[in-house]
Amino acid sequence: MGLGKRDLDRKKKSIENKIAELEAKSKKNPLDKNVRQEIADLKRKLDK
């Protein structure tokens, strides 16, 4: 059974909020490769 439109919107909004949080963390410590990698992964998920 697939996700409904409302569930997909919630999931997308959750990913967007997580990206914003990680970008703020990345600005504090720009050399942290793990944070930048996680941001890239989440952006790829968001594009799908």
- Helix 33-47 crosses helix 5-28 at what angle (to 10 degrees)? 160
Contacts of 22 (CB under 8 A, 6+ apart): 35, 38, 39, 42
Q: What percent of the chain has pLDDT over 70?
A: 98
Confidence of residue 2 (pLDDT cuts 50, 70, 90): confident
pTM (predicted TM-score): 0.80
Q: What value does the mean pLDDT take over residues 8-32?
A: 94
pLDDT-derived band at 48 (thresholds 50, 70, 90) equals confident
43 Cβ contact list (under 8 Å, min separation 6): 19
